Structure 1
Amino acid sequence: MDFRCVEECSDCCVQREYYPTKQFGKIGVLILPNEKEKIEKFAKDNKIEIKILPRIGVSENPNQIPTKILAYQLMGIEENGNTCPFLDTESGKKSTHGGYPCKIYKSKPLACSAYPLIESNPITLDEKCKFCKECGTANQNLEFETESLLKIKEIMQTNANHIWRYATGIGEKEDKEIIKTGWILEEGI
């Protein structure tokens, strides 16, 4: 079955998840370093308030915070981290599948182009995707998504000794006590 967005769905642009655990807070959309400046410029030019945090960093020394950032994350606009700031929920316009349109669709991040494929071994479909829930699986029409995910993996490849994840400090009110903020060495996950 060919993958396609489910009619009137915008869930992937709204719902954010805790990853890899609640301690790290909710994650934002993965933004590569070469995408960050372009996204910031678009937001500034269009007077859209955004928040970009680090996501993955590397260092040669485990006692040193990251010396290089491999990826950033575009956080949602709601206090709990949900809803992409580029999702047009106010104009009344609709996307081709009837969901809310994306204000940066033509220059969206590679991570958005790769969805619903997720990085795992092996690469799988995101179980939270409405299409994947309703239709089971997609075995065709994922070439573009696969190419996008492979580009992300290639760009983020590193020989650094230590990988760090950034804890966003963002999540549901009831989880605030366990959510951390700042860099955490991945070896401790």
Structure 2
Amino acid sequence: MKGDLSFFSIWKILDFSCVEECSQCCIEREYYPTIQFGKIGVLVMPEEKEKMVSLAEKNDIEVTILPRIGVSETKSEPKTILAYQMMGKDMDGNTCPFLDTKSSKRSPHGGYVCKIYENRPLACRAYPVIQSLPLGLDPKCKFCQSCGTPSGNVNSELESLILIQKKMDTKAPYIWRYATGTGESQDKDLIKTGWFLI
């Protein structure tokens, strides 16, 4: 993908904003790329990992950060990790540990408050823009479902996604994905754990 933001200018519908009282993107996690890989966590770049751990300690929160994408020069397990993932705090892999679901505090749109909003990972800054072909918006986002395609207000999100893509660019011959072992209880026999060559 090129760093060209102009394709958003062809959309002429609405500016993006969170739907009232929605925190869905911070709660629901999905199986990706298949159920065998388990539910994914929030993408965390290597340089963000220690920051997330430090912010968790500061907020007295437990976080689990697993590898997500690794690379290697041979078919042995990866020697370099390109990206990590911060897992949800629930047994089924859902709910970001930094989402304040216990207090009565609410965000400006009425959803739950993110305890680290100003320091959130690039992946959170990119949402609802997602890497797809062609580049698009997450169809599970409530704004996209109920309001349509935004015409503006997503340039910073797109810039964050472009930065993630640049950081994950690799010439390594072997790319690996980590299976998290996390998901719904009824799927436990299907879900794997560990590195898999993709």
TM-score, normalised via structure 2 length: 0.92
Bigger drift between 43-52 and 142-151 goes to 43-52
- Listed as ranges, the matches of 1:1-189 within 5 Å are 1-62=14-75, 64-186=76-198
Displacement of 1:31 after TM fit?
0.1
Displacement of 1:140 after TM fit?
1.1
Alignment deviations for residues 105-148 of structure 1 (CA, whole Å, 9 cap, x no partner): 00100000000011112211000000010012112111010000
Write the distance in 2 (CA, Å) between the matches of 1:156 and 1:109. Answer: 15
Alignment deviations for residues 69-122 of structure 1 (CA, whole Å, 9 cap, x no partner): 000000000000000000001111000110001000001000000000111122
Write the distance in 1 (CA, Å) between the matches of 2:59 and 2:106. Answer: 19
Bigger drift between 117-126 and 24-33 goes to 117-126
- Alignment length, in residue pairs? 185
Secondary structure of the residue that 1:139 maps to in structure 2? strand
Unaligned runs of 5+ in 1: none
Write the distance in 2 (CA, Å) between the matches of 1:87 and 1:130. Answer: 18
Unaligned runs of 5+ in 2: 1-13
Secondary structure of the residue that 2:50 maps to in structure 1? helix
**Cα RMSD over matched residues?**
0.6
Alignment deviations for residues 160-180 of structure 1 (CA, whole Å, 9 cap, x no partner): 001100000000011111100
TM-score, normalised via structure 1 length: 0.97
Deviating runs (4+, > 6 A) in structure 1?
none
Secondary structure of the residue that 2:124 maps to in structure 1? helix
Write the distance in 2 (CA, Å) between the matches of 1:42 and 1:140. Answer: 31
